[in-house]
Structure 1
Amino acid sequence: MNADWVAASVRARAMARRRVGAGTCRRIAGRSSIAEALQDLEGTGYAGSGEEGGLEEAQRATSDAVLWQLRVLAGWLPASGTRLVRAAAAGLERDNILDLARHLDGGPERPEHDLGALATAWPRLRGATSREELGTALRRSRWGDPGEGGPANLADVLRIGWLRELAAAAPQARPWAATAAALTVGRLVLVDVSRPSDRLRRLVRPLIGDAWAEAADPAELRAALPVAVRSVLNGIDRPTDLWRAEVRAVAAVEDDAFRLLRTAMPGPSVVLGAIVVLAIDAWRVRAALAAADAGGGSEVLDAVA
């Protein structure tokens, strides 16, 4: 094994050990205000998150904290690891693109995530001055054709594109990507009751096929998915309960990531495990901050405990 992977794996495991953890997140969720919740983050990797703003600023700051960890980790990786960490960071590049699209549609301008060398297309996309110009720039980038439709379609197309890139960069992530794709289209056809765009169907097909597009309820959706993915919908009888499947999927992915951290030899698998553990830790922190901002208590965190 390349010595650089050994050093990167040691660093990745050390980063993962500095996560906030489920217990602290439950304590944060029990606070009665965002100000109180932020005090619990002092001394962690999220210290200072959104001190001058409200919930949105605090949640964005947690994402930026993970991005900073990715950028640090990238400095320890051999050249062969660049694609993996860039694929992980592409989830935040997607957020930048969506924020820009909303701004071009008349929404507020939001600060971008500073991707640095982990950017794939953002330096060429950020200068777009209209949705048409942004669409043209996307077609010429690794993100590809955004397809037809409004902001919701763009969000789903970019999400599936990101999942495919992550699965291509890390084969261990392919089952996770397929499950996430199934939940994305489940929400689209069962909750939003929306017809998927042709572009979205083409992107999803390599992960889960396209029989799902005609599903009318969770049972039909489950039957339409590949066998390896169906278990994510076990016990889900109503579209309004899909969030429970999403939370359960997060917990399963986290278990897989911890297994990689514990058992894998130094190499890409350890780094992937650390990245996922850190990302899910930030997801928990964001959920906990939202709960505190609402007055305390989180059904989502209780479900994933």
Structure 2
Amino acid sequence: MSAGWVAGVTRARALRSRCLGAEGISEVAAATTLDDALRYLAATPYRHDVGPGVTVAGAQRAVSATLLWHLRVLAGWQPATGADAVRALAAGFELSNTEHHLSSLGADRRRPGSTPLHPPPYRLGALATAWTRLARTRTPAELRTSLAASVWGDPGGDSPAAVATGMRVSAALRLATTVPDAARWAAARLALLFCREVFVVGRRMPDVSVRRAARLLGPGAIAAASYADFRQELPATARWLVDDIDEVADLWRAEARWWDAVERDGWELLRRSRFGPQPVVGTAALLSVDAWRTRGALELAARGGDPGGRPTGVLDAPR
């Protein structure tokens, strides 16, 4: 047992208190106006940048930024292995920054001096892998070249769709490789991404992304001509997410199921008494689930509230 892991796991367990929790999330979801929800959040760990007048999108982004800060704190207390695990778990923030940056390079970019098209990028600190270089690119082609020279790898194209898909596939593969305890999360999330791209949107993924996806999902699933065949060919690490979902139109059910599984696994990892990466991964998972549910609760409040306090929503790459 190293002193680094003792400090890292101790900090991880302390950060668990930064979650809003089921009761608090229900309070936000039951608020009848967004301002009421924001007043409640003002006395919680999500209090930063959620003052009166903030839009629901702005409040949701502030919640994501708070999650990022907690993950940065968590990573800062870890030995190298633990910091690498948190970095892999937080890849969605760099992905979000890159998507917004690529969009700003498009033909619809606003003229200098006008209102920015996108919010400022997330401040990644030590959780960044390539963002400093990516942020300096000035064309989509430069961005693709920079990605290809980084841990993200070549996305197979410089269009927004190719970059978004390529980065998500790369993130899933890196997570499964770097964080074995999160391998089934990564495989199942990748299966859902593949389903949406191929069987819902009807868009073929770039060949390089297909090859990477096959490493987690298997060549049989990747080559499947139908959703039914795809589901049948998936490995057990991914099939659990869609096993009883017969139609692609019902894939929305897999979203909440995925987050529920991450929460259950996170609690199990956190309960383990050993000093090592597992409690750290568990804490990161629980913080992420809490932020996702809080974002969903804010959406409900903006729509007039849900007396049952049942937040819903999707958090893939934070916005």
* TM-score exceeds 0.5: yes
**1:78-227 pair list within 5 angstroms:** 78-105=79-106, 106=108, 108-148=117-157, 150-213=159-222, 215=224, 218-227=227-236
Structure 2 residues not aligned, in runs of 5+: 110-116, 315-319
Structure 1 residues not aligned, in runs of 5+: none
Deviation at 1:235, TM superposition (A): 2.4
The aligned residue for residue 114 of structure 2 is none
**Aligned Cα RMSD in Å?**
2.2
Query: Any idea what SS the aligned residue of 1:185 has?
Result: helix
Indicate if the aligned counterparts of 2:297 and 2:309 stay in contact, CA closer than 8 A.
no
Name whichever of 79-88 and 209-218 sits farther off.
209-218
The aligned residue for residue 112 of structure 2 is none
The aligned residue for residue 251 of structure 1 is 260
The aligned residue for residue 301 of structure 1 is 311
Q: Which has the higher helix share?
A: 1
Distance change (3 Å), C-alpha of 1:18 and 1:165: same
Query: Any idea what SS the aligned residue of 2:202 has?
Result: coil
* d(CA) in 1 for partners of 2:220, 2:160: 24
Structure 1 residues 84-122: Cα deviation after superposition (integer angstroms, max 9, x where no partner) = 122223221111001101111225132100011221100
The aligned residue for residue 7 of structure 1 is 7
Query: Any idea what SS the aligned residue of 2:41 has?
Result: coil
* d(CA) in 2 for partners of 1:279, 1:133: 32
Matched, 1:23 2:58: no
Q: Kindly provide the amino acid, as one letter, of the partner of residue 278 in structure 1.
A: L
**TM-score between the two structures when normalised by the length of structure 1:** 0.92
**1:61-72 pair list within 5 angstroms:** 61-72=62-73
Deviation at 1:43, TM superposition (A): 2.3
Indicate if the aligned counterparts of 1:26 and 1:288 stay in contact, CA closer than 8 A.
yes
Work out which of the residue numbers 271, 276, 281 in structure 2 matches 1:272.
281
**TM-score between the two structures when normalised by the length of structure 2:** 0.88
* d(CA) in 2 for partners of 1:231, 1:276: 19
The aligned residue for residue 299 of structure 2 is 290
Structure 1 residues 241-290: Cα deviation after superposition (integer angstroms, max 9, x where no partner) = 11111211210121011001112412111101000110111111111111
Deviation at 1:214, TM superposition (A): 5.2
Distance change (3 Å), C-alpha of 1:4 and 1:192: same
* d(CA) in 2 for partners of 1:169, 1:228: 16
Distance change (3 Å), C-alpha of 1:190 and 1:295: farther
Distance change (3 Å), C-alpha of 1:99 and 1:83: same
Structure 1 residues 44-72: Cα deviation after superposition (integer angstroms, max 9, x where no partner) = 21013442531221111111111111221
User: Percent of counterpart pairs with the same letter?
Assistant: 41
Name whichever of 156-165 and 208-217 sits farther off.
208-217
The aligned residue for residue 45 of structure 1 is 45
Name whichever of 141-150 and 291-300 sits farther off.
291-300
Indicate if the aligned counterparts of 1:190 and 1:216 stay in contact, CA closer than 8 A.
no
Indicate if the aligned counterparts of 1:149 and 1:197 stay in contact, CA closer than 8 A.
no
Q: Kindly provide the amino acid, as one letter, of the partner of residue 144 in structure 2.
A: G
Name whichever of 232-241 and 88-97 sits farther off.
232-241
Deviation at 1:2, TM superposition (A): 0.6
Distance change (3 Å), C-alpha of 1:303 and 1:38: closer
Distance change (3 Å), C-alpha of 1:226 and 1:140: same
Structure 1 residues 113-172: Cα deviation after superposition (integer angstroms, max 9, x where no partner) = 001122110011101111111111111111110212632232121112112222222111
Indicate if the aligned counterparts of 2:97 and 2:121 stay in contact, CA closer than 8 A.
yes
Which portions of structure 1, spanning 4 or more consecutive aligned residues, are displaced by more than 6 angstroms? none
Query: Any idea what SS the aligned residue of 1:26 has?
Result: helix
Distance change (3 Å), C-alpha of 1:46 and 1:159: same
* d(CA) in 2 for partners of 1:10, 1:129: 43
Distance change (3 Å), C-alpha of 1:211 and 1:196: farther
Equivalent pairs counted in the alignment come to 304
* d(CA) in 1 for partners of 2:137, 2:313: 41
The aligned residue for residue 32 of structure 2 is 32
Query: Any idea what SS the aligned residue of 1:40 has?
Result: helix
